[in-house]
Amino acid sequence: MSKTAVVIYSDPKAGTDEALGRLFNGMFVAYELKEKKQDVVLLFQGAGVRWASEVVKPDHPAHALYNAVKDTVAGVCGGCADVFGATDDVRAAGAELIHERAIPGTSGIIDLSKYLDEGYRVLNF
């Protein structure tokens, strides 16, 4: 069985259809793999950490899909949330901030290399 890490990088502050489309497509893949009972994790990294506080809003267009895949969410990059000013919003949304790899100038980031080491393919959106 395959293992996939889906990483959302797109920035909701871009306000473009492309940014929203990348979010949707990443979550579509997570949904499809979950339906196939494959090992899938969804991660929010870079400016994509801002989505964590958007998709929990009931009126957001991606809310229903997010609810369908939220059990696959491994977390939100803590250092990225700090850099992009999203830490408080992510916490308020109830998402888990991950600080597992020390990187200079940050409070720690998601260690994407561990997914590669564990045989995951990594899809970036």
pLDDT at residue 115, rounded to an integer: 98
Q: Please identify every stretch of the chain with a pLDDT value under 50, giving residue numbers as ranges.
A: none
Q: Which of 54, 67, 75 is nearest to 7 (CA)?
A: 75
Task: Give me the domains of the chain, ranges plus CATH numbers.
Answer: 3-124 (3.40.1260.10)
Q: What is the pTM of this model?
A: 0.95
pLDDT at residue 123, rounded to an integer: 98
- Per-chain mean pLDDT for the chain: 97
> Strands across the sheet with 97-98, in order?
97-98, 73-77, 39-44, 3-8, 121-124
Helix (H, G, I), strand (E, B) or coil at 115: helix
